[in-house]
Structure 1
Amino acid sequence: MKSPMNDIAAFVAVAKAGGFREAARVENMSASRLSDAIRRLEEELGVRLFHRNTRSVVLTEVGMVLLERMNPIMSEFDSALDMVNLYRDKPAGKLRLNVPVSAVKLILPAIVPAFLEAYPDIELEVTAESNVINIIDAGFDAGIRYDERLEQDMVAIPIGPRRQRYALAAAPKLLDKLGRPTHPRDLLKYPCLTGRFRSGVANTWEFENDNKIIEVNVSGPLVVNIGSAVDLSVDAAVAGTGVVYLFEEWLQPYFDSGQLEPILENWWLSFSGPYLYYSGRRLVPTPLRTFIDFVKSRDIN
């Protein structure tokens, strides 16, 4: 019994993605082609590999057994193909990164254009989201996260600034109207522009002074999704709607223009910078190794 490798690869992709639509996005092919490949494989094997309905795709028991056996084989297959890169003049292939929106805004612009110019045969795919995921299960080669969210079996290298701060700001006209706060607890009297993660957890406003950290449970007229909708809170702050709490680098252009005024600077919370991380249990593919070496070689850390 011989099953085409492409059909087996399609099975692994759908199983890891948890559905045809997501697998099609990851593999850059149509969901119908993936569905046809799975159908052919099931007919060839004479067993059903997935339970399908209109809402979900779930592995059958035999599907789970096959995936468990195929994972190391597919990993070795990918590694074998990647060895071809050693004989090329320049590295090639696809590199998939999962990063927070803040990294897209504040870190990658200083890296990506120069990297792609240096390695034009590498295709870089960046997915930005605020929720923390298992990058391996989701089919990513690496991610960017802060140290408190790194998994223990991951290899991490510094990327971007090594110290960052959360800044607090408001439009001058709002502060002229309400006065300027002198302590973080004063913010309880101000309209604040808050954020919430996709999990439903609200973003905590923390402040630090004399090694003392305090949290303030603020509220206000606008709550945005952490990540994709953060710029709306900045626009609202500029318009005088409320106080915004965000990365200092994100707000710096508005400080420079005078659209926003920094407040409570002696209370701004400082924290360590982000890391590029990847699995320490897998052979590092050439595009990722090239990216790692590029990051290490640049004076951006």
Structure 2
Amino acid sequence: MSVYQNILTEKEFVDKDNLTYPFEERGLQFGDGIYEVIRVYKGKYYLIEEHLDRLFRSAAAVKINVPYNREELAHQLDELLKRNEIDKDAKVYLQITRGSAPREHAFPLNTPANLYAYVQDLPRKINLMKEGVTAISQPDVRWDWCYIKSLNLLPNVIAKQEAEEKGSFEAVLHKDGEVTECSSSNIYLVKDGSVYTHPAKKNILHGCVRMRVEHFCKEKSIPFVEEAFRIEDFQHADEVFLSSSTAEVMPIIKVDNQVIGTGKPGSITRVLQQSYERDADISEARSLFKAPSA
């Protein structure tokens, strides 16, 4: 995966090999920062407004001053793609921390935030989206403010590693059996034609793609029910899928030892995948649903 040379910082664009921070950096020492991962298709951002909205909400929630206003930051992110001549599928990682200062728990005074963003290649996971993936379940031991997209991700990392070690794509998180979300995605259960997902409260991330899934459901007259379900409900589910900026709309065909429905991606998941492709303006050549060659 390519990491491109030009990285956006709070002051300028720099070569990635020349980027350094002091060792007393609050993101490193406290996880005192926020971030976004923004999808790029053929050199164009997808859901950029939604990501910027969430970034500034997160910053306000943890009292970090973003070093650019919204318009300036959007311009700089566009410039990041231009300087790296991005014309393919990619992702941009953007991080803002409270800055660099002597290590004290209380906020440092008059310390500017540290901001950087970089772009990496990210091809679509076409084969996984066609065939579906498996997941494991794990207790949700994260803090209560998961709506803030903060750098405090150690519980997510451990859950994802458990899934990786068991040959699965994701870890489904639950609190006493009530499903919240996954280690790096939102999750949905389909039953009798309705899509169920945990309400957008403070204990889950309000995913940008999640908002589009809700919109797609309304477009297709599919009931979208913000109602928590439980681990044992997987045995009765017709379909299960997840969503994120990097996985799009991804079918889950098995959780732990429980096969979901027929063990294949379901019809509602397919409808939502098609809606996503149209919304993201993904060309036919890169579509899940392109016609077979003659």
- TM-score normalised per structure 1: 0.28
For the pair shown, the structure with the greater C-alpha radius of gyration is 1
Question: Which structure has more helix as a fraction of its residues?
Answer: 1
- TM-score normalised per structure 2: 0.29
